Structure formats: structure tokens, C-alpha cells
Structure 1
Amino acid sequence: LPNTTLLHCSDNPGFLGVAPEPIHRNLHEFSELMKNNNLNCGLATDGDADRIGLYDSKGNFIDSHHIILLLIHYLVKYKRLTGKVITTFSCSEKIKHLCKYYGLEHETVQIGFKYISGKMITEDILLGGEESGGIAIKGHIPERDGIWIGLILFEFMAKSGKSLEDLIEEIYDIVGSFAFERIDLHIDDKIKNNIISNCKSGIYKEFGDYKTERIETIDGFKFFLNEDSWLMIRPSGTEPVLRTYAESSTQEKALNILESVRQTLLV
């Protein structure tokens, strides 16, 4: 990679005062670098480089769900590999759609890569991934490796001769376009526990204009809505935070769902 621009690649245990999680809200400087320097693709990792963040040439953040879809598409269509796909409960439902399209077995597990890595040792796993950006693929170690995943995506671009944006459009041609959003609600434990109790009791039948059609409870509460959308509610086990997730056809709609969730839960 001779034409590489590096940003903050020196040792700094304080991470320059920025949280090291490779998500968009921590990477605005990186996004601006992409926009202003005519770069094709940008790779960011967390401090120990097991999680990946990705940017396209326009400085748009590519979340882990899109990365997982890109990897499945490349490994199956271009490299002719097979195997089971495992993703955690908060991952996009579009992954199931792509697996069905390619005839791959899919399994959803609890959140945490430990629920994936053991299966990668004992089963024929093509890919394992989680919403936080930790991903592993066949032919490498059964553990998250953000640098390796980045190199595989660079290889995909080089061998196909296509931009990251064009490759994502290939995915959308199969599963449809979508957006995923997550908002953490900082509330005290009493309110958090009351909300979780209400979820268990089945009190929440609708969130604003969005009616629930069914619920899954593998690790938290995933409410499937009309119009191919879903939302998820899951408490943090380590801090007074309630994590809320939503997926829909557009970013605006996903954010609207999350606002409806906030208003419903905190009335």
C-alpha cells in the first residue's frame, strides 16, 4: 500500500483524549481527512486493533453491518467459499437475507465474541461478526482482527476494480438499502430495571406510530415492526445505560424510531 496516509499511528495510552472505539462519533477528524485528501478508503481500529471502522471516499462511515455483508458477498461470490455465518443479536437482519440468497446457514447468538469464537474452532464457519465491529473470517484465527478484515476489504476493491461505494450498491441490489442507528440512554438503575420488567411483561405493543409484530429475546428485546424495520432494547450490564438500536430503510426513519422508543420508555 504505497499511497497510504496515516493518522495517529504513534503510541499514546491516552488516545489523544478520544475514546478509542472506532465509531463515527469518535472519528470526525478521520472523516474530514478522507473528504479533503482524495482518498479511496479509510480504515480505523480500536486500541488493540480487534475492531474495525471503515470510511468510503466521500468520508461516509461504513458500519459493521455493511462490512459483514461486504465480506460475505466477497467470500462467497468472488472467492467461492462456503460455511456457516454467525452474528450477534444486535446485528442487521439484512445479513440473514444475504445468507438465504447465497444458501448459507445462519445462526444468531448472544452479544459478545466469546459466543462466536468457540464455534469457529469446532464448526465450519465462514464468518463471525458482532455489531461493535469485531469480525473474524475463515482461513484466519478464530478471533477478531480489524487489520486483517481491512486488508481483505482492500483486496476486494483491488480485485474487483470497484470502489467501496460501488460494492455496497451490489449488496443493496440483493438485500435492499438500509440504515442502522444506536442511541444509549443514560438513566439510573431503577428506571432501567423498570423498563426491562415492562419488556418482559409484554407491555410495549407500539412505539409511537410503529406497531410491534413480533419479539425475539435472545439477548435483550428485539421488536420487529411493520415495513421491514426493527428496534432493540438491551440494558448494559456494567453501567446505568439502556442501549437502544433501530434498523430501517433510511437513517431518518431509524432515528425517528429511536426517538419514538425514547418517548415511550421515558414517559
Structure 2
Amino acid sequence: MRLVAAHKNRIDLTTKIKFGTDGWRAIIADEFTVENVARVAYATAQWLKKSDWNSKIALGHDCRFAGELFAETVAKVLLHEGIDVLMSKGFVSTPMISLAANQLGCGLGVILTASHNPPSYNGYKLKAHYGGPLTPELVQEIEDIIPDSLPFDYASVDLSSFEKSGKLEIVDFETRYVQHIEKNFDLEAIRKSGLNLVYDAMYGAGQNVIRRILPDVQLLHCDYNPSFHGQAPEPIQKNLQELEKYILAKGNIHCALATDGDADRIGLYNGKGEFIDSHHIILLLLHYLVTNKGMTGKVVTAFSTTPRVKTLAEHYGLEYQVVKIGFKYIAGIMVDEDVLIGGEESGGIAVKGHIPERDGIWMGLIIWEYMAKSGKTLDQLIDEVYAIVGPFKFERNDLHITEDLKQAIVAKCSNDEYKSFGKYTVSSVGTVDGWKFFFDDNRWMMIRASGTEPVLRTYAEAPTLEEVREILKVTEKTICN
């Protein structure tokens, strides 16, 4: 009777694995364990074998704790299930895996990374053969077949035997990526420009690239530190204070580039130590690609991006589309249509002529090449864009609030209960992904619950930074009281 009772009261400890807006992420040694990683790898293998795509996977890991262990776990499961594996030699960035998947005839790419999340996290991203994120529908198919346990002992799989047979190949993805850069950029123009440039890798997986292609660039946080010095490697202003102080102390820096943990997101600073947000970067890239490169194509941005991108696209006679937040939605369109640039507020941008994938280093090099060839400062180039779309400022505020309050705010947004925020009266509301409250042609505020973190995000745009912060302050007061 005791055995029966114990069986009836047994708690099911199997973790339900859910993929968010950009892969599956969880805290290392809590939900992100070798057992759970093996379960996801098994589902990946089963799905790929049933697809029409090549049964070969490009596999890598970033700089996070135990990255090699998790990558080897994935390799063991894949190889046992008959999937050929090209595994990275050391840590790699997400764009390196995406590029390899595209260039080396792989059905999928898998990168073990939690991107910009805090150092306690790791994650599992799926990339398609075209070199970008796997579409949400296909990711869901893989998620749906993740087993509760594996039907074999993955730990006993001998990788060396698969390497001898040629089913497992160790590949230097970083060198392939560097060679791809050298073919597509005028690096000599940057080297001879006289520009004083800085790169901050935030201890991430892009740390070796710039020193290999532009050895004179000054480097920050370009060494191996799996704890990221205790800070989330997201290239936003509050996380880049050391870089900001470095620029101000030097006094002669022209531009600084920062990338996140897996080097797919970009952060940028001008020579005055002022942070340049992704909205401005997208506008600069679009302006350069059209006016200097003579390129055309559709412009696609995520819902949280400034409407001024639409203004610039229309100025150049280009089609414009807004999609849900999550780069996978942009990538899907880039694969099927002629897209010039796709970007999101969080620093993920892709351009025509590369892969349909976010790539912080690639975008930074375009900006540096633009500066080198034009002989203009970053501020002068921004002024060129302002002449078309008008000057503006933007800022995001992440509210760490209780789940109950978060859900209450979301409910009020859904029920259209917010008609004003302080003195700002709502004229219209966009609801593609979250709620975008437009006050007039130059001012808006947005509310959205994060898809990967327990936070509520608020965003605002206005002609001055002071007014942006006023809008964010009155928003917090309105929704949190």
C-alpha cells in the first residue's frame, strides 16, 4: 500500500521546454541541464530526419559556462541519431554558425547561447539552411516532439569514433567568417582612414574578430570571461558605462562598436561618448546602402522600431513592412522576398548581401566603412538622415514588477483603458505586438511584456531626450499606481 501511495503522490519533475522569441533559454544547472539539452537535441534530430533538408548540422557554443560540455552533449545525441555534425573549434558567434549552415550545405545550425541574457543563463538557438533563424512554425514542430527522456544513454556515445569515421568534423567557423568579411569590406579604407576606433566585445564570442581584421582598433573586454564580469552582455547604454568612460577619457575616439554575448546585436557610440540607438543605426545603414551602394529592396522592421524608418524608406521609394518582435519574423521575409534591410529596436539588424541574420560586427563594419569613405563623422552622417526624417531621441525602460501587476497592465491595454498618460493624450494605438500609443507625429510610447524575461518593457520617442524620459516617467506612474 505504501508503494502505491508513493506512486500516486509522485511529482513529475520533467521540465516542459518552451522556445521564446529567440530560442530556448534557461538558468544553467536549474532547467538548462545536460539532460534537457539532450532532449532538445533528440527532437532536433528526429525533425531533421523527417524533413527534406540535409541531415547535417553546424554546431557551436558561445563563451558561457560549460558551453563545450553542452555542445558535446548535443553532438553525441545528433551523431547517435544519424546526423552528421560540423562542430566548432572553440567558442563562436551566432552569425558564424548561421553563415556556416548556409555555406556548408547543412540542414540546420545549432548554437548554444543565451545571447544578451545574464551570465547565469544559457540557451539553444536553431538556424536554418538559408543562414537565418528557423521560422516559428518549424521551431514549434521541434518543440512539440521533445521527449520526456531519451531512449538511449547519450553519455556513453564516443565522439572520437565518429570523428574517425568522418561523421563528426571539427571546423574553424571563426576563420571562415573572417574570410567572408575580407571578401565583402574595404578594410584597407578603414585602416588608412585615420579613424580612432574602439570595439567592446562585452566578453562575448565576437572578441577575436576585430583584432584579426583591424589590429589597430582599441579593444575592451575582449578576453575569455564566462561570468561576463557579472553583467548581462547586452549592448545598451546602462551596460556600457566602462566603454563610455573610456571614450570620454581618451578624448580622440571617433566611434565605438559593442556587440552582445553571441555578437549578433550591435551597440554604437559617437566620439562624444553618446550612445547611438538601433533606430539611428538602421536609418544610417539604409541611407548608406541606397545613396552610396545604389542598392534597393524592401525595408522590414519590428513593431518597436521608430516610424521614421518608414519615412526614409518612402523617401527612397522603397516598400516598407512592420512585423512582430523577434528577428525570426524578419528573417522569414528576407528568405522569400527582396529585402534590403531588416532590423529591430533591440540591436538586431541584417542587410542584403549577407545572410538573413542579425550580425553586430557586420553592421558595425558597414558604419565604419561609411565613415572612412565619406570622411565624415558619425554625427555628420546622422545629420544627413535628420535632414530627411527630422531629429529625434528614443529610450527604453524595463520595469521589473510582479507578475500580477504585469498581467493587470496587459489586461488594461487589451481593454483599451489607457486614453492618456499625464498630459499626453492618445490619438491612436498600434497592436501588432504589444501596444504602441501615438500622441502625435513626433511622439509615441509603447508597452510590451518581454517574451524571454520576467519584465514589462516601455519605450518612448520624442524630439528631445528630456521629453522621452518625461514620457517614460509618467507612463510608469500611470500604469504602476
Give me the TM-score of the superposition, normalised by structure 2. Answer: 0.55
Cα deviation 1:69-92 (Å, max 9, x = unaligned):
000000011111000011100011
Cα deviation 1:220-258 (Å, max 9, x = unaligned):
000000352000011123443211110010111111111
2:428 is the alignment partner of 1:214: yes
Structure 2: distance between partners of 1:36 and 1:46: 23
For 1:71, which of 285, 301, 310 is the aligned residue?
Answer: 285
Paired position in structure 1 for 2:377? 163
For 1:9, which of 193, 203, 222 is the aligned residue?
Answer: 222
Q: What SS class does the counterpart of residue 438 from structure 2 fall into?
A: strand
Identical aligned pairs, as a percentage? 59
Give the 5 Å matches for 1:1-267. Answer: 1=214, 3-37=216-250, 38-226=252-440, 228-267=442-481
Paired position in structure 1 for 2:135? none
Count the aligned residue pairs.
267
Structure 2 alignment gaps of length 5 or more: 1-213
The aligned amino acid for 2:246 is: L
Q: What SS class does the counterpart of residue 222 from structure 1 fall into?
A: strand
Shift of the 120–13 alpha-carbon distance from structure 1 to 2, 3 Å rule, reads same
Cα deviation 1:83-106 (Å, max 9, x = unaligned):
001110001111111111111111
RMSD: 1.1
Q: What SS class does the counterpart of residue 457 from structure 2 fall into?
A: strand
Structure 1 alignment gaps of length 5 or more: none
In the TM superposition, residue 145 of structure 1 has moved relative to its aligned partner by 0.9
Give me the TM-score of the superposition, normalised by structure 1. Answer: 0.97
- Whether the 8 Å CA contact 1:198–1:204 is kept in 2: the answer is yes
Worse-matched range after superposition: 34-43 or 169-178: 34-43
Structure 2: distance between partners of 1:239 and 1:7: 27
- Whether the 8 Å CA contact 1:210–1:226 is kept in 2: the answer is no
Structure 2: distance between partners of 1:55 and 1:238: 26
Q: What SS class does the counterpart of residue 466 from structure 2 fall into?
A: helix
The aligned amino acid for 1:82 is: T
Cα deviation 1:185-206 (Å, max 9, x = unaligned):
1111111111111111111110
Cα deviation 1:41-72 (Å, max 9, x = unaligned):
10110111100111111111111000000000
The aligned amino acid for 1:34 is: I
Q: What SS class does the counterpart of residue 222 from structure 2 fall into?
A: coil
The aligned amino acid for 1:65 is: H
Structure 2: distance between partners of 1:127 and 1:135: 7
